Structure formats: structure tokens, C-alpha cells
Amino acid sequence: MRKPTFSPTKLTTYLTCRIKYHWAYMTPYGKWMRRANPAFAFGANLHRALDYFHSVGGAEQLSQEQFHMALERLWSHAGFESNAQSEAYKQTGLELTQQYYQAQAAQPSESVVLFTERMLRRDMGRYVLMGRIDRVDEHPDGTLEIIDYKSGRSDVTEEQVLNDFALHCYALLVQEHYPDRSLWIAIHALRPNKKVAVPVSRETLDEFRELLNQLVAQILDEDWSILNPEWIPECAECEFLELCVRKLGLAHAE
Ligand code: SF4
């Protein structure tokens, strides 16, 4: 029998609301009720452009104009509510990628890009952990730095990196493929063009792995016949709100 797979997105959905996890991953409503998500579409377009930028050799190989043209060419309207909205986001995307380009050209990194936008999997025993990693850099001493781009944040702090659930999942995935390397995890906030990186120890990853195993065991062993939703702040923006109200009797907050 195929093992169940879990991604950071799936696990984060469960941590936010177990009912939402039920709708999204255990019923067809997950696909039927998928909404246009401009913020997500914006991030996906930027990821594509940065993937291209690094795959062709970065600022050393690409002029600023060529990078600009690449974003125009790679831009997709999918996921936006209208073409006008997509164009507005594209203008912001052009500004952010030009800012990114200029910073890379002004201060070339000593690290090399090992890979970008790669899906990795790790057999965790009872389940398979999987995740798409934005970028991994290799430092001159062999340390690997796992970088997650954030296109919506106006700032990033060390504490946010230390507490980032997805990055710790990515570190477990990279550890499987490069077991002897020291690892760093980093968030690169594209709006302020600020990157914060911190080392992640083997002990921390061992502890995280234990917690992850417990979380997945809880999901797999849940009694999914009991669904009693209670109002949480996330309900207001949730695509499943009407389902929860209609089928499960969720009461709106006062
Ligand atoms: S509406 Fe609220 S309770 Fe229902 S799935 Fe969404 S977040 Fe969860």
C-alpha cells in the first residue's frame, strides 16, 4: 500500500484547522472550491523568474534588461481575479526583481546555487514527507543554506526563521540527500530584499522529526467522523465557510 504523503502546506492546514484539512484533503471540495489567490499567483510568478535567473547563471550571465524581459515572458495570469489585477502585480514583480538583480550584481555571493525549485521526498517510516524547495546554496566550506522566498512580507526576523515550520521540513528533506553537510535555513523577504539565515543543528532536526512524527500520527489516527467546528479568526476568509455553516452547523462569531 502506498504511504500517505505530507507537505508543509498540508500539515500547516491541519495545524490551522482540522476541519479545513478534512475539506481540503479528504473530500472533493478541496478541488471544487479552489479560489483565485492573487498573493499565491504573485509568489509563483516571482519564483519562476528567480528560478530562471539562477539557472542561467545570475547577474554575471544576464543583463538587467534580459531579466526584465524574462519576467515579462514567464508571467502567467493564472490565479489572478482579472488581467488588470495581474498587470498591477506584474509591475510590483518587475520592481522587486530589478531590486533583486541590482543587489546580486553589486555584491556577488561567495556561495554557489546548488539547485532551485526542486521537489524532494523523504521516507519517514509511516509516511512520506515531501516539499518543493525554492533554493539551496552551497557555501565555500560545504555548508548548505536552504532559502525560502517570501513575496508578501515587509520584514523578516531571526525568530521567524527559527520558528518556521516549512523550513524545518525542508531541512529534513535536504538532510536525507546530503547527510554529512552542516545546514542553514533562511528566509529571503523579496519586498525589502532582506535575507536572514540561521544554522540548524542535527539535534534540533532530531527533535523536530520527533514532533513531526507525533503530528502525523495524530492526523492518521484521528476519528474523522467527529467534526464540530468552532469559530476561529481564520473562518472569515476561509473558502469552506459556507460548507461549515451549512453542513456542520458552524455559528458565525457574534
Ligand atoms: S470555516 Fe472555519 S472551521 Fe470551517 S474549515 Fe474554515 S477555518 Fe475551519
Block residue for cell numbers 468552532: 230
- CA 9 to ligand 1 centroid distance, Å: 16
Nearest to 46 by CA among 82, 64, 71: 71
CB-CB contact of 77 with 42 (8 Å):
no
In ligand 1, which atom is closest to the CA atom of 229?
Answer: 3
User: pLDDT (tens digit, 9 = 90+) per residue, 75-86?
Assistant: 999 999 999 999
Residues with Cβ within 8 Å of 67's Cβ and at least 6 positions away in sequence, in order, are 49, 53, 97, 98, 101
HSE-CB for 175 with a 13 A CA cutoff: 22
User: pLDDT (tens digit, 9 = 90+) per residue, 235-247?
Assistant: 999 999 999 999 9
Residue 233 pLDDT: 95
- CA 156 to ligand 1 centroid distance, Å: 28
Is residue 57 helix, strand or coil? coil
- CA 60 to ligand 1 centroid distance, Å: 48
Cα–Cα distance, 76 to 83 (Å, whole number): 10
105 C-beta neighbours (distance < 10 Å), count: 15
Burial class of residue 179, CB neighbours in 10 A (0-12, 13-18, 19+): exposed
- CA 107 to ligand 1 centroid distance, Å: 46
- Give percent above pLDDT 70 in the chain: 100
In ligand 1, which atom is closest to the CA atom of 239?
Answer: 6
CB-CB contact of 136 with 144 (8 Å):
yes
Give 142-210 as a DSSP string.
S-EEEEEEESS-S---HHHHHT-HHHHHHHHHHHHHSTTS-EEEEEEETTTTEEEEEEE-HHHHHHHHH
Give me the helices (H) in 27-164, please: 29-32, 38-55, 64-74, 83-106, 158-162
Helix (H) or strand (E) holding 125: none
Average pLDDT, the chain: 94
User: pLDDT (tens digit, 9 = 90+) per residue, 143-195?
Assistant: 999 999 999 999 999 999 999 999 999 999 999 999 999 999 999 999 999 99
CB-CB contact of 150 with 50 (8 Å):
no
Q: Is the pTM of this model over 0.95?
A: no
Using most ligand atoms within 8 A of CB, pick from 18, 22, 235 the residue to mutate for ligand 1.
235
Domain boundaries, the chain: 35-108
Using most ligand atoms within 8 A of CB, pick from 17, 18, 25 the residue to mutate for ligand 1.
17
Pocket of ligand 1 (CB under 6 A): 17, 19-20, 23, 229, 232, 234-235, 238, 240-241, 244, 250
